[in-house]
């Protein structure tokens, strides 16, 4: 992939319309790219006076001074270069984001269904190692989040709008693509698949709870509920760009906080199962216990996915020399991660306290329904399930946006024109049904979460540390230099180990279920 040079005005608060004819993109945004044969319109910019017409009465020495001044301003970052193609792509099509949008997007991406699986990890790790692992993972990923926010504009006059672009700047053109493209796309697609599993199954639970004994004798199967949920996701995915889904991210953030609180409060307020213990789940062999622990740590790592969206969220914000984008981005991210901590720690600790080693592989929501469906009012359970569905629908949109961006980037680079509404819709319909197919083929949620956490762990815990060393170049053998190299290589080692644990857990689940036939 090529790095996208940028042409955004930095030193002027309000920028006039582009001087070239504009093409309407499918979302109604205007692209600064020229049409073939179109006449050039004139408008004032800080360097528009450096033009052949203006310079014609001025001698050559003065012309050189002014032209060199323009080059210097671009070089030091007063003028940031923008690729006109960015105005056609979902990530950078709109740049009117702010700290509030950053908080909504980070909260929607950072908390959700994965928090409901944390008690499953605790059932294999126990109290001590479960809490220690969760605390270490939280602060480690908070540090790497700060690194990514700072590296977004690490080079003056340039913005790294996507995770892959920053990886290319740090590791090189080819190696950066190989290292970053697969885990980021896999994380987006894998999360979308897991959201279809959770959303479809929760819709089924919601229907069973609301309908009760009045349900028809021929209810929808689990796969059919997956299809219903996927169809809703595809309809919502027609929103054009990342800023346009800020409202959905707000809905996702509010519903995530609400149902996480409701789930752990309802769980700890009920009587605990009499046969429950806090001993880690026993496995038949030592190797099985070892792989189960690795898979559990992978689930914890998966709970903090979302770093593949940090640069993309920051790219939706305007950036000037006096007001760089990292200021509102970090302000919004800090608020978001305070709320994330208020969700994941009570769910993990409260869920394990309530169910212990009896926690089902589907997570605390399945435990709540299985153990207390008759103790809690149907209305309260139905509201909880409905909130989970709304959150999954919202999270699907923000995690799918980088994949939509990649699809459209390939199309626009080949055709040299923006995607039409039909092409854009076709990409999104295709993506939704591919994830549905994967979800039906691999319906092992807790195992899938462990594998996702292992394979994508470098995106969150390892690559940012390497990027900081390679781009910022701290003094060799300094504390900063040592700490980032150590954290980076630890992240790579954990990634390999957790991936092995996730693969073992998926194979084990497959052997138990033989041929999966949903109800």
Task: Tell me the pLDDT tens digit for each residue of 349-373.
Answer: 999 999 988 888 778 888 888 888 7
Q: How far is CA 121 from CA 115, 134, 291, 388, in A?
A: 10, 10, 12, 20
Token code pair at residue 57? 């009465």
Say if residue 39's pLDDT is above 70: no
396 and 237 Cβ atoms separated by less than 8 Å: yes
pLDDT for 16: 43
pLDDT for 145: 94
Average confidence (pLDDT) over 454-475: 90
Neighbours of 300 (CB within 10 A): 27
Say if residue 151's pLDDT is above 90: yes
Say if residue 252's pLDDT is above 50: yes
Neighbours of 460 (CB within 10 A): 27
pLDDT for 42: 40
DSSP 141: H
| pLDDT classification of 12: cutoffs 50, 70, 90 | very low
501 and 295 Cβ atoms separated by less than 8 Å: yes
Task: Tell me the pLDDT tens digit for each residue of 294-330.
Answer: 888 888 988 887 788 899 999 988 887 788 888 999 9
Say if residue 486's pLDDT is above 80: yes
pLDDT for 387: 92
At 406, phi and psi to the nearest 5?
Answer: -65, -45
Q: Assign 3-state DSSP to the chain and report helix, strand, coil percentages, each to 5.
A: 70, 0, 30
Tokens 């193609």 sit on residue: 85
Question: Which has the minimum average pLDDT: 146-155, 283-292, 422-431?
Answer: 283-292
Average confidence (pLDDT) over 471-491: 93
Say if residue 51's pLDDT is above 70: no
Q: How far is CA 19 from CA 37, 77, 304, 345, 443, in A?
A: 15, 21, 43, 52, 53
Say if residue 31's pLDDT is above 50: no
Task: Tell me the pLDDT tens digit for each residue of 407-438.
Answer: 888 888 888 888 888 999 999 999 999 988 88
Report the chain's terminal Cα–Cα distance, integer Å: 45
């Amino acid at each position: 992939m090529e790095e996208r040079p940028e042409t955004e005005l930095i030193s002027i608060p309000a920028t006039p319309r582009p001087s070239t004819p504009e093409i309407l993109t499918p979302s109604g945004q205007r692209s600064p790219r020229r049409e073939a044969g179109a006449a050039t319109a004139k408008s004032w910019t800080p360097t528009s006076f450096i033009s052949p017409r203006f310079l014609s009465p001025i001698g050559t020495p003065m012309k050189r001074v002014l032209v060199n001044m323009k080059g210097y301003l671009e070089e030091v970052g007063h003028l940031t270069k923008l690729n006109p193609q960015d105005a056609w792509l979902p990530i950078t099509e709109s740049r009117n984001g702010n700290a509030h949008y950053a908080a909504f997007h980070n909260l929607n991406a950072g908390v959700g269904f994965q928090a409901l699986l944390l008690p499953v990890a605790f059932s294999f790790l126990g109290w001590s190692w479960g809490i220690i692992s969760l605390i270490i993972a939280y602060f480690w990923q908070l540090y790497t989040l700060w690194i990514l926010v700072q590296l977004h504009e690490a080079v003056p006059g340039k913005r790294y709008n996507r995770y892959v672009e920053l990886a290319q700047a740090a590791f090189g053109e080819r190696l950066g693509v190989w290292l970053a493209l697969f885990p980021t796309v896999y994380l987006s697609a894998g999360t979308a698949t897991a959201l279809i599993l959770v959303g479809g199954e929760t819709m089924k639970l919601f229907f069973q709870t609301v309908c009760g004994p009045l349900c028809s004798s021929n209810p929808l199967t689990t796969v059919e509920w997956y299809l219903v949920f996927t169809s809703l996701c595809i309809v919502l995915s027609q929103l054009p760009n990342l800023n346009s889904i800020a409202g959905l991210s707000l809905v996702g953030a509010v519903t995530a906080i609400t149902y996480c609180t409701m789930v752990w409060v309802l769980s700890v307020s009920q009587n605990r199962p009499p046969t429950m213990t806090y001993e880690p789940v026993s496995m038949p062999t030592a190797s099985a216990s070892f792989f189960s622990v690795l898979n559990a740590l992978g689930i914890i790592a998966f709970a903090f996915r979302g770093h593949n969206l940090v640069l993309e969220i920051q790219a939706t914000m305007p950036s000037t020399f006096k007001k760089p984008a990292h200021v509102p981005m970090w302000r919004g991210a800090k608020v978001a991660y305070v709320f994330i901590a208020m969700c994941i720690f009570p769910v993990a600790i409260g869920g394990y306290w309530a169910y212990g080693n009896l926690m089902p592989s589907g997570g605390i929501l399945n435990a709540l329904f299985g153990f207390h469906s008759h103790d809690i009012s149907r209305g309260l359970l139905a509201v909880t399930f409905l909130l989970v569905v709304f959150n999954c629908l919202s999270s699907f949109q923000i995690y799918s946006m980088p994949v939509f961006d990649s699809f459209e980037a390939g199309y626009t680079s080949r055709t040299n024109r923006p995607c039409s509404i039909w092409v854009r819709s076709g990409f999104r319909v295709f993506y939704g049904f591919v994830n549905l197919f994967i979800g039906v083929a691999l319906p092992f949620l807790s195992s899938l979460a462990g594998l996702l956490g292992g394979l994508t762990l470098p995106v969150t815990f390892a690559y940012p540390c390497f990027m900081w060393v390679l781009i910022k170049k701290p003094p060799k053998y300094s504390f900063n230099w040592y700490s980032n190299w150590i954290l980076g290589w630890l992240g790579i080692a954990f990634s390999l180990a957790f991936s092995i644990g996730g693969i073992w857990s998926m194979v084990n689940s497959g052997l138990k279920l033989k041929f999966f036939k949903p109800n």
